[in-house]
Structure 1
Amino acid sequence: MKIDKGIWKRFGPGIITGASDDDPSGIATYSQAGAQFGLATLWTAVLTFPLMSSIQEICARIGAVTGTGLIGVLKTHYPKPISYLMLLFSFPAIVLNIGADISAMGAVANLVFPNIRASYFCGIFTALLLFLIIKLQYRTMARILRYLCVCLMVYILVPFIVGQQFGKILPATLIPTIRFDKDFLAILVAILGTTISPYLFFWQATMEVEELKHAERKIVVNKRLIQEIAQDVNLGMFFSNLVMWFIILTAGTVLFRAGIHRIETVEQAARALQPLAGNYASLLFSLGVIATGMLAIPVLSGSLSYIVCETFDWKEGLDYKFHEAKPFYIIIIASLIVGLFITYLGISPIRSLIYAAVLYGVTAPVLIAIILHISNNKKIMGKFTNNTMSNVLGIITLILMTTAAFLMFLL
């Protein structure tokens, strides 16, 4: 979105949303996919890119056209119980996700500095994040998040540290491999749930509202702006899936070859890489986990706070100071503290992610269906309703996420 001057500043909410999708929990999922099945799931990065882009672009367009987040639109045009239901499922899922990410950051930091306990790092990261979120205004926070996106480039470097069989990579990327066994279907469901997460829908719509509100000049919502929003979202989702592809490639060429087929946490992935690809690769992998955690947790907690505040008409926004929007910041503080306590209580990050996945799986198909209905409603969107391609991709996404939800409960 060309609101600021300079190439870097043109990157809008799309790049942050895309990068935050590769959070420590997502990295663990992609690492497991590569370790367990080698290159067999590389094609999922190609498949999910247009689906992610389509849904996120629709959410961004809804935010820009209506001037409010998804919950605000739901409250205005749909029965209130729907927004309460979204809140009911989103709150525990996001908090569990935050807890798993904090735990992952502490674990990999402990690998880099083994003399300091992982629990101490968890507390340090939580305190640092709370300070940054509460202290900094929206523009500064958005700038920091954009710079953190660059840190994910380390995952593009790691595969080149070890030798690659390029003749096998391209076919695995372009030709889908499907195995109708429980483990393979389970990893496909996990990848879908990780890449197309409901909290990102809320974040994307709300951030478009924030961007327009904080623009240096008055922005008119027209065809050109919608095209710029789409370009920003496409760039962000491409970056997200590129990182995902490289993580699967790393695990698929290093861990799978070495016979390491069970990776449940990012700590295990980083530890396994050390003797196989060298300390440098393991260090880069660990630093990437910490950076993406610092990026994803503000998005997770911010999404949750926007959802709650929009539901109850409380003042919201990262540009407000703490005393100006106390409920907004209290929700963020509570979500991070509860997430931290989850790690201290010894609850397995994997178990937390399973519970979160179930809750996301329930809400994602319902929310996608609502988003498609909103974006085709001329009373809400005016002349900016979906085109044919958006509807086709949106319906495919809805079918896949509904199927994934069914398989998740079945498996």
Structure 2
Amino acid sequence: MHDVVPMTLSDRTTAVAKEALRGGRRGPWAALAFAGPAVTASIAYIDPGNFATNIQAGAGFGYMLLWVVVLANVLAMLFQGLSARIGIATGHSLASLCRQHFPRPLVLAMWLVSEVAAMATDLAELLGAALGLSLLAHLPLLVALGIATIGTWAMLTLQRRGFRPIELLVGGFVAVIGICYVIELAIAPPDWPAFLAGATIPRLAGPDTVTLAVGIIGATVMPHVIYLHSSLTHDRVIVSGETERRRLVRFSNREVVVALGVAGLVNMAMLAMAASAFHHGHSNIDQIETAYHTLAPLLGPLAAGAFMLSLLASGFSASIVGTMAGQVIMQDFTGWRVPLWARRLVTMLPAFAVVLLGYGVTESLVISQVVLSLVLPVPIIALLVLVRRRDLMGPLVIGAWTTFLAWLAGGVILLLNVILLLQLAGVPVPGLG
């Protein structure tokens, strides 16, 4: 008599999802079986880089750049939805499809650029976790960085138990961050008319706002999770036939809207908190550490503690997701199998270099987000080229209207990047000072 192997949590989740795809289960409990990939991706949209850019934007310019946060979140929904779609339609990740269908020299260049993005990502995430630990536990930053590295690696070992435990862990971190910002807004309510105006009226006021706008885009629409999301969906639930595949895409689209909608609200709350607390009287605050130390006397220890707890949760969870994305980028572009420890070693080195060389943490975070925004066109263009190929996508190929919106969105990102590069080169941009 053979022993019965108990079903894991991931197995049970897959079984419920299959039943829902066949029409056997309905309602919110069935939908929860599909929640995971977009929730995992969403943590990249509320990572420490967002803290840095949103604090600088809110403190320096009030609610002016809220519209950039809204725009970035809409762009994120669009591209994450397309990334999930291509994984479901083809059964391959975006990086793997690039390796299969693009010329080898181009693939090599794309991989190298994407590795730079992975390193910039891990720089922001590890530094955020270390900074949170350092301030909360009064540890030297280098010691906190070592603890954050070990802690992240330990959490990543949950991958051995399937996809569901790591999804639940990341989802728990998202919940902690969200609750912390509900507390922040209760303590420091925003100026709602100014909030609504900032969220709906596009405005820029000079070179600094352009740099921050590009940083916000880079911190929100992140290249590494465009690669990761397609990998998370391509074999999570095995479908039978096109009807189930279409249903799976619908479930995925709903999850993207909900998960990234929550992440967008958290981003807006970050900027609004900085605008409410710092813009009048403390507009020169441009460091996360300064924001923390200013919040305690200004709004009380609860506000300061919630702020730093959210940063800590953000840093740990985003570092998990960043390492997962780095594995996908290296393995699927090159075909190599990379041990977790090796992947972690490669991406953590820039964070240790920043600390050892004495660079400012917040400035490093903002610069890392600008690097991400400059790299972002690479996965976006690859995604838009591939998702329009009927031989790859079959019935799930995107239509003309979606194609137009996607290329328009990509064009907005490219335009912001061009403006930033012109400013860095010292070329004056009309209307921006």
Give the superposition deviation at 1:314. Answer: 2.8
Partner residue in 2 for 1:151: 176
Identify unmatched segments of 5+ residues in structure 1: 316-325
Partner residue in 2 for 1:3: 17
Partner residue in 1 for 2:261: 238
Give the superposition deviation at 1:235. Answer: 1.3
Normalised to the residue count of structure 2, the TM-score between the two structures is 0.84
Q: Conserved in 2, the CA contact under 8 Å of 1:36 and 1:262?
A: yes
How many pairs does the alignment contain?
395
Q: Deviations over 1:267-317 (max 9, x none)?
A: 2222222221111001001000000111111111111111111122234xx
Q: Structure 1 residues 263 and 82 mapped into 2: Cα distance closer, same or farther (>3 Å)?
A: farther
SS at match of 2:234: helix
Residues 1:224 and 2:247 aligned together = yes
- For 1:268 and 1:210, the matched residues in 2 are separated by 44
Q: Conserved in 2, the CA contact under 8 Å of 1:23 and 1:293?
A: yes
Q: Structure 1 residues 389 and 229 mapped into 2: Cα distance closer, same or farther (>3 Å)?
A: farther
RMSD: 2.4
- For 2:264 and 2:316, the matched residues in 1 are separated by 19
Q: Deviations over 1:155-188 (max 9, x none)?
A: 13201112443333223323x1413411222221
Residues 1:59 and 2:71 aligned together = no
Partner residue in 2 for 1:205: 230
Normalised to the residue count of structure 1, the TM-score between the two structures is 0.88
Give the superposition deviation at 1:248. Answer: 0.7
5 Å matches for 1:305-384? 305-315=327-337, 327-336=339-348, 339-350=351-362, 352-353=364-365, 356-357=368-369, 359-384=371-396
Partner residue in 2 for 1:184: 209
Q: Conserved in 2, the CA contact under 8 Å of 1:24 and 1:266?
A: no
Partner residue in 1 for 2:166: 141
- For 1:224 and 1:6, the matched residues in 2 are separated by 12
- For 2:350 and 2:68, the matched residues in 1 are separated by 33
Structure 1 vs Structure 2: percent identity of aligned residues? 21
Q: Structure 1 residues 341 and 184 mapped into 2: Cα distance closer, same or farther (>3 Å)?
A: closer
Partner residue in 2 for 1:173: 199
SS at match of 1:211: coil
SS at match of 1:167: helix
Residues 1:399 and 2:372 aligned together = no
Q: Conserved in 2, the CA contact under 8 Å of 1:104 and 1:265?
A: no
Residues 1:78 and 2:102 aligned together = yes
Give the superposition deviation at 1:383. Answer: 1.0
- For 1:363 and 1:7, the matched residues in 2 are separated by 34
Q: Conserved in 2, the CA contact under 8 Å of 1:130 and 1:333?
A: no
Deviates more, 1:367-376 or 1:135-144: 135-144
SS at match of 1:212: coil
Give the superposition deviation at 1:357. Answer: 4.1
Identify which of 145, 170, 179 aligns with 1:122: 145
Q: Conserved in 2, the CA contact under 8 Å of 1:361 and 1:404?
A: no
Residues 1:282 and 2:304 aligned together = yes
Partner residue in 2 for 1:319: none
AA aligned to 1:313 is G
Q: Conserved in 1, the CA contact under 8 Å of 2:123 and 2:350?
A: yes
Q: Structure 1 residues 21 and 49 mapped into 2: Cα distance closer, same or farther (>3 Å)?
A: closer
- For 1:262 and 1:282, the matched residues in 2 are separated by 18
Deviates more, 1:89-98 or 1:392-401: 89-98
Q: Deviations over 1:89-127 (max 9, x none)?
A: 12233223323332232223332233x323222211110
Q: Conserved in 2, the CA contact under 8 Å of 1:65 and 1:381?
A: yes
Partner residue in 1 for 2:318: 296
Identify unmatched segments of 5+ residues in structure 2: 1-13, 19-28, 424-433
